Structure 1
Amino acid sequence: MNWMNESGSYSRYNVFLKILQSNEYVSIFDPKLKRYMDILIDLEQPFTTWSTPNNIILVHETLCLRHFPNKHERSAKRPVLILPPQAGHHSNLADYSPAQSLVRVFHRYGYDVYVTQWLSATPEYKDLGIEDYIRLTDEAVEEVRKRTGVYKIHLVGQCQGGWQASIYTSLFPDKISTLVSAAAPIDVNATPSPIVDYAQKMPIDVFRFMVKSGSGVMQGKYILQGFKSMQPEEHYVRKYFRLWQMIKEGNEEGIKRFIHFENWYQYTQNLPGRFYLEIVKNIFKKNNLTKPDSFQLNGCLVNLRNISCPVIIMAGKRDHITPPEQAFALKNYISTPAADVIEILTEGGHIGTLMGTESLREDWTAVNEVLKLAI
C-alpha cells in the first residue's frame, strides 16, 4: 500500500508513527490501532452516494440531471434547480446525508427539486468550456420547465455553481424567478483570499501544464491538493489525531461522521481542461464578472446588469475560500432593486455554509421563507 499522499511532507503514515512515538504506550497489537489503520486503508478508495431517492431524467456530456420527487407534497411549488459546484468534488454536496441535505430542506417547504450532477470529465470532453456548462445548464432548465409546465424556476448555485447560476440568469433572465448564490466568488478582488492570491500570482503556463499532464483534463487530485494546502495542518495532521482520539474514546458517532466526510472529500472528479483554464482566466485572474461585456459565451456578452429578479446572497463568516466580501459583491453588479436583495451571513466556513447542519437548519430555512414570497 502507498502510504505517502499528495502533501509531500505529511502522510497518514507520518501520523501513525507519531502516535507510536507519543508519550502514551500503544502496542502494535492493540485492536484500536488495527481499527485506525483499517479505516485509513478503506479511505484510500473513497466512495460517495446520494441520500434521498431520485431519478435520472437527462444525461448529456458531463451533465446528469436528477429529479428528487417530493413525497411530502404532491402539488409541489415552483421548481428549484440546484447547481452544485464543479470543483473536483461530487455533486451530492446538495444531498450529503439525511441530516444534511439541502434537497430535503426544499422538500419540507413543498418544492419540486432538481439537481445537476456534474460528471467527471474524460478526455472526450476536455474541450468543453464555460459556454458549454452554461449550455448544459440551459438544457437542465428547459427539461425542468418542460416537465413542470412552469415558465420561471428558482435557481440555486453553490460556490462555483453560484457564479455559474449568476451568468446563466444574466443570459436567460426570462427563465429565472429567483436567483440564490451561496458562497460564490463574484468580485475576487473585493478582499484577499488564499485561492485568489494563488491563481493571480501563478503563471498561466503552470495551470496549462497541469491540464496537459492530465491529457487535456484537470485532474481532481490536483484541485484537492490546492484546497488542502490552504489548511495543511488540519488536512494532513489534526484530523488523523481526532480520529485516533475518537477510536480511543469509543465515539462511534464521531467515527461514522469522520468516515462519511472523508469519503466525500477525498472522492475527486476531473474537469474539462478548457473549462478549468477559462475559470482561472476569467474568474480569478481578470475578475471579469465585475466588468460588463468583458467576455462572451455562445456569442452573447456576459453582463450581470441583466439580472433584475429577486436575489438571495449567502456567505460564511469563517469562509477562507470565498470570503463574504467576494460573495456579497454580487449586489453591486446587478439591476435588482436593493429591497429585493437579501444577504445572509452564516456562522460557518465554506463547506459549513453549503451543507452544515446549523446552516441548513437556520440559514437555508430563511432562504425558503424568502422564496415563498416569490411564488
Structure 2
Amino acid sequence: MNAQLMPSKFTNPFFAKVTDGNAWTARQRALALTAQLSELSTMSQLTSKAAGRHFMNISATHGGRLRATFDELTALMGTITSTERSLSDRVKDAQAYVIDRTQRAVLTLDTLRQRGDNFFEHEAAGCPPVLIYDYDVVMDGRSLPRPCNYALLKIKPPEGVEVYPWKRPYVIIDPRAGHGAGIGGFKSDSQVGVALKAGHPVYFVSFSRNPEPGQTLADVSRAEATFVRYVQEQHPDASKPVVIGNCQGGWATLLLGAANPDITGPLVLNGAPVETWSGDVGANPMRYNAGLLGGQVQPMFWSDYGDGVFDGASLVLNFEMLNPGRTWFRKYYDLFEKVDTESGRFLEFEKWWSGFFLLNEPEIVWIVRELFVGNKLARNEARLEHGRVLDVKQIRSPIIVFASHGDNITPVKQAINWIIDTYADETEIRIRGQRIVYMVHDKVGHLGIFVSASIAKREHTQVSSVLKTIEALAPGLYEMTIDDVRGEGQDAQFTVSFAERKMSELPGYGDGREDEVPFAAVQHLSELQGELYDVFLRPMVQASVTRASAEIGRMMHPLRVQRALTSSRNPVMMPLEALSKVVSESRKPVEKENPFVLAERLMADAFEQTIDVVRDIRDAWYEVTFYSIYATPFMRWFGRNYNFERTRKTKEELVGLPEVRAALLHVNSGGFVEAVIRMLILLADARGNVRRDRLERSAKVLTKDEPFLSLPVARKAEIIHEQSLVVEYAREAAIEALPEMLRTPEERRKAAEVVQFVPGPLEEMDPRTLSMLQRIRHVLGLEPATADIALDPLEVTAQAAQ
C-alpha cells in the first residue's frame, strides 16, 4: 500500500500511561505525547474537513436551488396577479388542471400496477436477463462439475447487423449486486450494441435468481473461466476475447484475469469498486457503512435470517437510500408528469431495478470481508479459496479502467487507486509487461456508464475501436483522452490520444490518503465482531430460522411489499386497468404554462429539495461520526497491524528483478523485428504521449505487415515487453546496438523508413521524436530524414513482390 496511507508511528495511549517511569526516558515520553497529539490533530482535521466540505456543498447547492426557486415563484406570482386573464379564465385553468391531474393519477397508478404485475411475472420466470436482444444459452453453469447459477449467452445480432467469427469476441459480465443481468445490453446504444455494430461476436454472462446449494465465488470464477475458454474455442481465428466487467462485474473480471492470466484478451472495468477504502472527504458516504453498520456481521446475520441465503433486495435498498429524493419521490413525479409518453421506459427500467437476486452466505460474506471491508484485492491478499491467493499483478492482458466524477456509487478513486496499491510504481507496471489505460468522464452517473447512449456513442465506441492500438502500446500506465474535432451529437468525430502517466499523476493522488487509515480499524473490528457472532450468536439465530420463515422474511422486505401493494394482487388496484383505458380515450392534457401546473412543479421541487437537504445533513453526520470514532488515537492503534508501509524500490533496485536481467542479456540480440519494435518504443518514449492515428499506423505495421503478421500474438507481446525493458534500463546501449541487429544496408534503410512512417509527416513530429529519429538514422549510418514517408514501406514491398 502507498506509504501515504500510513500514519507516522502508532502509539497505544493506554500503554503510555501505565508504563513504569524508569522504562521511559523523558525523550521517549515527549515523542509519545507528540505522536498522540499528532493523531488527535489528524482526527480533528478529518472531522472538520468533512464537516466543512459538507457545509460548503450544502450552501452552494441548495443556496443556488433556493434562488432559482425564488425566481420561479416570483415569475409565477406575476402570472397569477396579471390582469390579462379574467376570473373565468382562472376557473377554466383550475378545471383543466383538476381533470388532467386526475387522469394522470389514474394512469400513473396503473403504470405502478403494471410494474407490480411485471415484478411477480419476472420472479415466476426466474428473473431472466432484461436484454433487448435475442440470445441462445450456449453453456449452463448448473451442469459444470462445481455447479453455479451462471450461464453463457450468445447474443443474436438484430436484423441488418452482421457479425464475423474471425473478429475478436466480446464477453460482458454484468454486476450481481442485488439486481439481475442485462444492464450492459439494455439499449441498442450500449456495450452490446456497439460491439455488434462493429461486427464482433458478443457473449453475455448471465445468472439466475437463486444460487445453487453450496455455491461459492470460487465456483463462479471457475464457471466464468470455462465460459471464456469456450468462447475462445468457438473463434479459433480471432484474438483472445475482450472481457468487460460492469460495476461489481469489474472486480469479478479482475478475479478472472488474476486466476487465469492465459485466457483473456483486454479487460475493461466500468465503474468497478476495486479500492473500496478510497473516496473523497465530504462525499461518497457509502464507504462508511462497514464502520457504522457492523461490517461483516450484517451479511452473516441476514444470511442466517434467510436460511443461508442473502436477499439482494437489501443491497438495492442501500442504493436507493443514497439518493432518496430521486428514488423515492422524483422518479415517481417524473412518471406522473410524463405518463403519456414515458410509462413504457419506466416499466422497462423497473423490470431490471425490481429484479431482486439472492446470494449464498459464503458469497456475500466473501465480498464484504475480502473487498468492501478488507480491501484485500488491491493489496494482492484476497484468497478466492484456501491456497489460492489472487495476485492482480499476474494479469498480462491490457486493463482499461473507466470511471466518472459523476458516479456516487463507485467514486473515481475507488475505480483507480487500486493501481497505486497493486504496483510499486509505474516502473513495475512496465517491468511486468502490463498496459493499464484509464479514462475519466466528467459527469456521467453510475448507471450511465453502462446504458447511456451518449457514453456508448463516445467512450465505448472508441474503446472498441482502439483495442489493437492499446495492445501495440509499450507496457506502462496511460491516460486515454477523447477530444471532439468536428460535428455534433452522434455524428461527432473524435480524436483519441494516449498520454503516459506516473502514479503521482493519477486523479486524486495529490489529496493524500490519510482519510483511509481509519478503515484499518474497521477491518480489525469487523473481523473480531464476525468471530464473536460466529461463536456466540450464530447457533441461536440459525436454530430459530426455518426455510418457511426465511421465505416469509423475504416476502416482507419493504421493496417487495411496495410492489405487491401496487399490483393486481391488491383488490384496490384491480379496477385501474379498465379505468385507465377509459381515461386514455378521453385524455385532456393541460397546457404546460397553466399556473396551477407551475405551482405544483414548484412544490415538487421544494419537496425534493427538502429531502435532499435532509440527505446531505445525514451524510455529513454520517461522515463526521465515522471519523470521530475511527480516527481517534486508540482506533488508529487498534488497526495498526491492518495497515502496512510498503517499501518502494528504486529503479536501480528493480534492475535485479529476473525479468529485467533476462532482457538486458539480449541488448545486442535480435533481428529486423526486434530492432523495429525497439526503435518504435524509443520514438514513443521520446514523445511521452501518442495520438491515435500514430498508434493506428503502429498497430498496422505490427499486426498486418510481414514479418510481424506471422508472429504469434504471445510471442509479439514478449518481444514488446523485452524491448521496453531494454529501452528503460539500457537506453544508450539499446541505441548503439541497432547496427548489430540490422546487418545489411537494405535492412537498415527499410527499418528506418518503417519507424519514420509511424509518427507521420516530419513537420507534425514532436521535436523530441524528430531528434530521436535523426539519431537512430545517424547510428545506422543513414543520412538525416528530409522527406516524409507517406506509404507503409512493408506494404509497398509486399505488393511489389506480388
Is the pair's TM-score, using the shorter chain for normalization, greater than 0.5? yes
**Which of 30, 38, 43 is 2:102 aligned to?**
30
**Which of 128, 133, 136 is 2:215 aligned to?**
128
Counterpart residue identity of residue 201, structure 2: D
Cα separation, 1, equivalents of 2:348 and 2:271: 23
Moved more, 297-306 or 81-90: 297-306
After superposition, the Cα gap between the structure-2 partners of 1:131 and 1:75, relative to the gap in structure 1 and judged at 3 Å, is: closer
Moved more, 324-333 or 51-60: 324-333
Instruction: Name the structure 1 match of 2:389.
Output: 301
Per the TM alignment, residue 272 of structure 1 is displaced from its structure 2 partner at its CA by: 1.9
**Which of 58, 66, 78 is 2:139 aligned to?**
58
Task: Determine if contact 2:166/2:235 at 8 Å carries over to the other structure.
Answer: no
After superposition, the Cα gap between the structure-2 partners of 1:31 and 1:78, relative to the gap in structure 1 and judged at 3 Å, is: same
Instruction: Name the structure 1 match of 2:198.
Output: 109
- For the pair 1:77 / 2:77, whether they are aligned, the reply is no
Counterpart residue identity of residue 133, structure 2: T
After superposition, the Cα gap between the structure-2 partners of 1:131 and 1:26, relative to the gap in structure 1 and judged at 3 Å, is: same
Cα separation, 2, equivalents of 1:87 and 1:31: 37
Task: Determine if contact 1:308/1:336 at 8 Å carries over to the other structure.
Answer: no
* Cα deviation digits, residues 72-102 of structure 1 (max 9, x gap): 133441111111111121211111133x431
Task: Determine if contact 1:309/1:336 at 8 Å carries over to the other structure.
Answer: no
**Which of 155, 175, 178 is 2:263 aligned to?**
175
Which protein has the bigger strand share? 1
After superposition, the Cα gap between the structure-2 partners of 1:372 and 1:26, relative to the gap in structure 1 and judged at 3 Å, is: farther
Q: Name the SS for the 1:291 alignment partner.
A: coil
Aligned-residue RMSD, C-alpha: 2.4
* Cα deviation digits, residues 260-282 of structure 1 (max 9, x gap): 21222122211222101110111
Q: Name the SS for the 2:455 alignment partner.
A: helix
Cα separation, 2, equivalents of 1:352 and 1:258: 16
Counterpart residue identity of residue 355, structure 1: V
- TM-score, normalised on structure 1? 0.85
Cα separation, 2, equivalents of 1:72 and 1:336: 38
- For the pair 1:49 / 2:130, whether they are aligned, the reply is yes
Cα separation, 2, equivalents of 1:135 and 1:151: 21
Per the TM alignment, residue 200 of structure 1 is displaced from its structure 2 partner at its CA by: 3.8
The unaligned stretches of length 5 or more in structure 1 are 1-22
- For the pair 1:287 / 2:375, whether they are aligned, the reply is yes
Task: Determine if contact 1:157/1:164 at 8 Å carries over to the other structure.
Answer: yes
Per the TM alignment, residue 41 of structure 1 is displaced from its structure 2 partner at its CA by: 1.3
After superposition, the Cα gap between the structure-2 partners of 1:339 and 1:128, relative to the gap in structure 1 and judged at 3 Å, is: closer
Instruction: Name the structure 1 match of 2:337.
Output: 245
Per the TM alignment, residue 50 of structure 1 is displaced from its structure 2 partner at its CA by: 2.0
After superposition, the Cα gap between the structure-2 partners of 1:296 and 1:219, relative to the gap in structure 1 and judged at 3 Å, is: closer
Instruction: Name the structure 2 match of 1:156.
Output: 244
After superposition, the Cα gap between the structure-2 partners of 1:367 and 1:340, relative to the gap in structure 1 and judged at 3 Å, is: same
* Cα deviation digits, residues 248-305 of structure 1 (max 9, x gap): xx4x1x3332222122212221122210111011101110012223434363211111
Q: Which has the larger radius of gyration?
A: 2
Instruction: Name the structure 2 match of 1:165.
Output: 253
Cα separation, 2, equivalents of 1:131 and 1:255: 41
Q: Name the SS for the 2:348 alignment partner.
A: helix
After superposition, the Cα gap between the structure-2 partners of 1:111 and 1:336, relative to the gap in structure 1 and judged at 3 Å, is: farther
Which protein has the bigger helix share? 2
After superposition, the Cα gap between the structure-2 partners of 1:294 and 1:92, relative to the gap in structure 1 and judged at 3 Å, is: closer
- Extract structure 1 runs of 4+ deviating beyond 6 A: none
Counterpart residue identity of residue 286, structure 2: I
Q: Name the SS for the 1:314 alignment partner.
A: strand
Map residues 1-375 of structure 1 onto 2, 5 A cutoff.
Answer: 26=98, 30-45=102-117, 46=119, 47=122, 49-60=130-141, 61-70=148-157, 71-98=161-188, 100-122=189-211, 124-125=212-213, 127-149=214-236, 152-192=240-280, 193-203=284-294, 204-247=296-339, 250=340, 252=341, 254-297=342-385, 299-332=387-420, 333=422, 336-337=429-430, 340-346=435-441, 347-373=443-469, 374=471
After superposition, the Cα gap between the structure-2 partners of 1:361 and 1:298, relative to the gap in structure 1 and judged at 3 Å, is: farther
Which of 1 and 2 has higher RCO (CA within 8 Å, sep 6+)? 1
Cα separation, 2, equivalents of 1:87 and 1:50: 17
Per the TM alignment, residue 339 of structure 1 is displaced from its structure 2 partner at its CA by: 8.5
Residues matched between the structures, number: 346
After superposition, the Cα gap between the structure-2 partners of 1:106 and 1:200, relative to the gap in structure 1 and judged at 3 Å, is: farther
Counterpart residue identity of residue 324, structure 2: P
Per the TM alignment, residue 336 of structure 1 is displaced from its structure 2 partner at its CA by: 4.4
Cα separation, 2, equivalents of 1:108 and 1:27: 46
Per the TM alignment, residue 28 of structure 1 is displaced from its structure 2 partner at its CA by: 11
Per the TM alignment, residue 369 of structure 1 is displaced from its structure 2 partner at its CA by: 2.0
Q: Name the SS for the 1:289 alignment partner.
A: coil
* Cα deviation digits, residues 86-120 of structure 1 (max 9, x gap): 1121211111133x431111112221111100211
Cα separation, 2, equivalents of 1:330 and 1:205: 25
Task: Determine if contact 1:59/1:65 at 8 Å carries over to the other structure.
Answer: yes
After superposition, the Cα gap between the structure-2 partners of 1:368 and 1:302, relative to the gap in structure 1 and judged at 3 Å, is: same
Instruction: Name the structure 2 match of 1:13.
Output: none
Task: Determine if contact 1:131/1:298 at 8 Å carries over to the other structure.
Answer: no
Moved more, 238-247 or 293-302: 293-302
Instruction: Name the structure 1 match of 2:653.
Output: none
Cα separation, 2, equivalents of 1:66 and 1:200: 39
